Each structure stands twice: as structure tokens, then as C-alpha cells.
Amino acid sequence: MGDSREKYMRRRRFLACGLGAVACVAGCGTERAGNVLRTGFSITTAGRRWAPVGKAFAGAARSAGFAAAVSHAISGTPATGTGPTGGPTSGGPAGSGPSGGGPSGGGPTGGGPAEGGPTVGGGPVAGTGFAITVSGLPALAAAELNNTQSLLDTATPLARLSGQIEVVVVPERSPLRDFGDFAARLLASPQQTLLVGGPQGEPDHLLFGLIARAIGADGRRVDYSGYPRLGEAASALLSGKAVAAAGPLDDWRTAIGRGRVRALAVSSARPVPDLDVPTLLECGVRVDFADWTAAFGPEDMPAESREQAVRMCEEVIGSSAWEAACLAAGWIPIPLAGDDFARWLGTEIARTRAVLRDLGLLDSTKATTCWGSCGNGH
């Protein structure tokens, strides 16, 4: 009985500390309205594409014991897009495009270059303290393409949250039987190997750039057409206009399952359990890639507030609720927080910048996006 009481008291102290951490993110004090603890942070997103992740993160925070009622509305609402089979995809951003609930949706409302780059840090929100903003790889790439400050300059890195695995696919009747065949063709004839995916400079394009770099192909000669909607890229692929496509695995699953396309490789470091497709690493290509999302604080976030916010993020992204949310949405949990995340982000910025330069999108007058229709004459 004594042991049970001691465990109960320890649990109460643990929950009290957790609630206090949320209430103090941004250094604001704790308020009570009756017996209800008000949170000291709000969750917002840098674009519609990140709204599902923001909502899932808030839900996991509540499940972890934090008083995480979101008091600042998450910008944008997810809608149903159109996948390569003409049916709905899995919860992508409004306006369709590669979806899956994460950052691969394109178009002017998709949070890519057209959404204004990397401004993600929120200031104090009345009654809620500082905002925690959910953003990701497309915002980082947009900052480079628009020659603006990076996420390290405009926000306080808190934690990496989740990622979407990308896949390289070809039509079922393609003569390219495996990734080795594809790599050989891309290396020998990059200008005669039309590749398609989401808008230029976004994750699908970046993946092809990383592959080209890894196999020794000239990235500036890679022929790539970017489309704002997955259905348009799929049409170019299935009509025979394009040789291969890249996109979020979750969005191509139906087409793969129905035998309309074949998956040559996935971008994750580990194989996908329910898919008999090799990873790029297993194909001999040193690329480990995900379209990631992360949590950021405002640029001028006080050190004490950052420390408490990082602790809160660590607990949430390490929870079973977050793992379950990622599994349900088709994301992979890729937890990394605090200084480790900030260091990783620095290397990711350098890698993204190098690939964009390889592809001729930096220090070049070449167009960086294809909204509505391809601007490359295809």
C-alpha cells in the first residue's frame, strides 16, 4: 500500500512538471481559470501542407499529459486531393498535388516557394505565449531559391517531428526492370530521361538531384518537369511522356498496388515493412532522404523558454501517441530535438543548397516552379 501511494505521488509530480513545461514555453507564467490550467504556447503552421502534422502534434501533446488545447488556430485546413488513379489521396492539402498529409503538396496554396519562404517564427500570442510553428523541407528549399534567410536565421529550431518516405516509380510496362537500369540510363542520357514529380526545387526534385549526384550524373543536364498536382505528373508518366516519377510513397501506394506503376526504390534508410521494394542504400546509392517536418520557436525565443519547449517536444515525439499518429497518417517518426536537431538542420541546409546548385536552380535564371503547366516546354 505504501509503495502504491509513493508511485501515485511520483506520478502526480511528473504530470505537474509536464503541465508546467507547456505553460512556460516562451517564459510566460501559468494561469488558472477555476481548476483548468491554461497552456503557455500555441501551435501554428507555416502553410496548409503542414496543418495535419500540426494538429497531430497538438493531439499527441494532449495524450502525453500536457494541457495542450490549441488556442491559436492552425492556418489552413486539409482537404482531399486527387491521386494517380483518379481517386482521393490520403488527406493532402487543398488544391491536391502530392499529398499524404505532409509537406509534399504543391501549388500556390501548398506552402512551397509561392508561400513566401521560411518565415516561421511566431511572436507572443495574446493569452497563449509564444507560438510553436510547424514547417519543413519545402520552406528550407524556398529560402534558398528566393535568396532569403534560412530557418536557422529566422527561427529557433526545437525538434524534428516526422517525415514522408519518397518513392521512385516507372510505368508497369517500362523496359527499366530495376533501379540499376534506371540509374544506368540516367547516367548515360540524362537529357533524354524525362523525370516528373512535384514543383521544381521541392522534395521530389531534390530526391532526383541527390540520386544524380550519388551516381555521378550531371545534375544540370537532368530533364525534370514539375507539376502542382500528382495527377498531372502521373498522367505524364503513364502516357509515356516521362521515364520515371518521384513522390510520397503513401500517394503512390494505390497505383503500385493496382499494377499501374512499379516502384524501383524507396528513399528511407530502412525497408518499408509491407513493401517488397529496395531502399536506395540497398541499391548502392548513398541517399537517405525524407520530406521532413519540424517544430520551431520564434527567432528571439528566450533560452529558458527554448529549453522548456525542447523538453516538451522530446516527450511528445517520444510518445506512443505520436508514433500512432504517424503510423495512421503514413508518416515516419524521426525524432530529434534540441542541439542535436539544430546541428542536423545545419547539415540539411548545406545539402539542400548543394543539390539545388547541382540542378542549376541556384546561381541560374532557370525557372524554379511549374504552376498549372510545365514551363520547360514539355
- Show the CA angle centred on residue 155, arms to residues 30 and 45, nearest 5°: 75
Paired sense of beta strands 244-248 and 166-171, if any: antiparallel
CA of residue 242 relative to chain centroid, distance: 25
Q: What is the pLDDT of residues 9-57, one digit of tens each?
A: 443 333 333 333 333 333 333 333 333 333 456 888 888 899 999 999 9
Within 10 Å of residue 277's Cβ, how many Cβ atoms?
18
Residues 143, 149, 154: CA angle, nearest 5 degrees:
110
pLDDT score for 6: 45
Does the CA dihedral 338-208-332-43 come out positive or negative? positive
Identify the pLDDT of residue 268: 97
Question: CA–CA separation, 179 vs 244, rounded Å?
Answer: 11
pLDDT of residue 68: 52
Spans of the chain, pLDDT less than 50: 1-39, 69-129, 365-378
pLDDT of residue 355: 97
Neighbours of 241 (CB within 10 A): 13
